[in-house]
Structure 1
Amino acid sequence: MHRVVDLKVLYFGTPVVLIGTRNPDGTPNLAPMSSAWWLGDQCMLGMNAASQTTQNLLRERECVLNLPSSDFAAAVDRLALLTGSPVLTPHKIEKGYRYEPDKFAAAGLTPLPGDVVAAPRVAECPIQLECELLSAEPFGIDTHATAHTVRIMRAHVADDLVIPGTQYVDPVGWDPLIMKFCEFFGDSAQLHPSRLAGAWRMPHPARQRHGRTFHAGREDAGV
């Protein structure tokens, strides 16, 4: 049996990406997102048109797509309701965002210089993809979003994720952090309470993992 549902959220499950860009003053910016998909050596990124990351990407024409493993859900969550723009839109105010000029410090992550771009890599991410911007177009109707197409120019992969003697990532060893309906997942398990889910008032039922009860936006000690 199936039922017809007016779905409010369509994030069925995509990998989390930490996008490194450069601010106008040359300082590093870091933003989490999950509207990304790859084809060949190119990637499409869907982002809010008013975000600091979008403005940086359009100006600098380059970025780094840092892919965190499932171990870094807490660090990514610390970035969830932060913005690199000092001017907050009404939407971001309503969701509880605040301005944070040093995203790396806020997340507890370490910036690394890129080899071929000026945008920052994230030292803790096992996969880092240096990219150039190919195009940017408005996306959808009344979505206030931009679809960016980028091309991967250089890929950095942790040694233990490369299949020996090849140029391939080990799909068994690679456990990406997944965003599924605004919640963090890895290896099919819910990993960490999500501030974003709380901001969107996602009506998720409680789930048990390792003796702790997870609710949207918080976790409680198990009994």
Structure 2
Amino acid sequence: MMETKTINPKILYYGNPVVLLTTVNEDGTTNISPISSSWALDHFLVIGLGTTGKAYENLQRSGECVLNIPSPDLWQRVERLAACTGKEIVPSEKAAYGYVSVKDKFHTAGLTRKISSVVSAEAIAECALQIEAEVRHIREPDYMEGIAIIEVEAVAIHAHESIIKERQHIDPSKWSPLIYNFRHYFGLGKELGKTARA
């Protein structure tokens, strides 16, 4: 049996798939927010967001989004968005880490817009899996200051044909998501790079 040791990390985070969350701005343009706190059960998904970001503001107003799941080969494009915010005035806590305001994140990351079939937010064409969703519930727990828990329901799911098997399923031998684990990007069992974010 392996020996264990009690640890006390600054934050409990053991890694999750990266999501490029697209939401609709007030002027109808689409914002992209890289997140890595999400999980799914059936056609419902739960995401965690900071309450000072543009994505949270947009979700409260519009109630819809697209969860774009990038593959490992997109990690450098995801990283280009790491220090970007869609807010015109950068929140002070983000400014302290060197964040900058960026209106066109598609251009910044070198990603392609794709019109969604149900929601107004655009999807990201390069992402092999795109989940259009509508907000069902938003909570801001008292015990987690500055964090919101958002429950959404998938209303349309799109996948690149190259990763589909038996017409309705994702083939895990042909595709796996980009994983963000302790500030490092991983995919297909190997480390791809580290974030420059503090």
TM-score normalized by structure 2?
0.95
Distance 1:152 1:194 in 2: 29
The answer (yes or no) to whether the contact 2:183–2:194 under 8 Å persists in 1 is no
Matched-pair contact (CA < 8 Å) for 1:70–1:176: yes
Distance 2:136 2:35 in 1: 19
Partner of 2:154: 152
Offset, 1:139: 3.4
Q: CA deviation at 1:9?
A: 2.6
Aligned equivalent of 1:192: 193
For 2:39, the equivalent position in structure 1 comes to 37
For residue 92 of structure 1, report the CA deviation from its aligned partner.
0.3
User: Post-superposition shift, 1:183?
Assistant: 1.0
Runs of 4+ in 1 over 2 A off after TM superposition: none
Give 5+ residue unaligned stretches, structure 2. Answer: none
Could you list the per-position Cα deviations for residues 108-153 of structure 1 after superposition, in whole angstroms to 9, with x for gaps in the alignment? 0011111101001001000000000001001362431110000000
- Give the aligned partner of residue 216 of structure 1: none
- Offset at 1:193? 2.7
Instruction: Note if 1:96 corresponds to 2:98.
Output: yes
Match 1:26 to one of 25, 28, 34: 28
User: Which runs of no fewer than 5 residues in structure 1 stay unpaired?
Assistant: 200-223
Distance 2:7 2:112 in 1: 43
Contact 2:134 2:153 in 1 (8 A): yes
Q: How does 1:4-153 map to 2 (within 5 A)?
A: 4-139=6-141, 141-153=143-155
Identify which range, 135-144 or 87-96, moves more after superposition: 135-144
User: 2:180 aligns to what?
Assistant: 179
% of aligned pairs identical?
36
Tell me the distance in 2 between the aligned counterparts of 1:57 and 1:32: 14
- Alpha-carbon distance between aligned partners in 2 of 1:124 and 1:2, rounded to the nearest angstrom: 41
The one-letter amino acid of 2:71's match is S
Superposed displacement of residue 168, structure 1: 0.8
Could you tell me how far apart the structure 2 residues matched to 1:96 and 1:139 are?
A: 28
Q: Write the distance in 1 (CA, Å) between the matches of 2:141 and 2:48.
A: 8
* Cα distance in structure 1, aligned partners of 2:112 and 2:160: 15
Count of residues in Structure 1 that have an aligned counterpart in Structure 2 = 196
The answer as to whether partners of 1:127 and 1:155 remain within 8 angstroms in 2 is yes
